[in-house]
Homo-oligomer: A and B are copies of this chain.
Amino acid sequence: MKRTQFADQPCSVARAMDIVGELWAFMIIRNVFLGVRRFEGLRANLAISRKVLTERLGLLVARGILDRRQYQDRPPRHEYRLTPMGVDLFPVLMALARWGDRWLDGGTGAPIEFVHRKCGQATTARVVCAHCGEDIGAHNVQPRLGPGGEMPYAEAIEQAAGGRQVFLRPARAA
């Protein structure tokens, strides 16, 4: 059976997972961020089979996360660079790493720390509201239907949630 595709769902998380919700995707991206940009380097470091690596790199290029560029002519050799869309995944990666550090470190502390150039400290990611700068947590936000949302979708969620109203309704939803 083909894997279910989420690309068309009216949900940003679904569409994002369609691209990065895969065992290897973030591993590859993380390594590219660390400077491991070439096929052989990735293969050796990730212990991934050539076939799967080829497929994954192809997908990430097709989806616009990576850019495959030739870095020498003879013989032709390529490396993979993050596109702006890929670079913009860095905050997600940091948020994920913070979660992993907090809950899965086995008591040994973070395997890798990131020193923030601005302040010189080993930084941990904090996710805040872009407007007011306060923390964003599960308990201080309320979902509502956005401009790209669809009422049937919201209604389906509310039905699945047992009829409780989940969303604030925007005025235009007559």
Contact = CB atoms under 8 A, between A and B. Distances in A.
A3 interface: yes
A47 B9 CA distance: 11
A84 to B, nearest CB: 9
A85 B103 contact: yes
Interface in A27-45: 27, 30-31, 33-38, 40-42, 44-45
In this complex, the interface size class of chain A, counting residues with CB under 8 Å from chain B, is: 35 or more
Interface string A81-120: 0100101111111111111111111101111111111110
A137 B38 CA distance: 22
Given A30-B13, A112-B149, A122-B146, A102 B117 contact: no
Given A34-B161, A128-B128, A160-B36, A112 B27 contact: no
B110 A147 contact: yes
A160 B123 contact: no
Contacts of A41: 159-162
A121 to B, nearest CB: 4
Contacts of A136: 90-91, 94, 114, 116, 123, 125
A24 to B, nearest CB: 8
Contacts of A19: 104
> Closest 8 CB pairs between A and B?
A12-B100, A109-B147, A108-B148, A91-B127, A41-B160, A16-B100, A119-B132, A45-B160
Given A44-B160, A92-B95, 9 more contacts: A12-B112, A14-B27, A34-B157, A34-B161, A82-B138, A87-B137, A90-B137, A112-B144, A123-B141
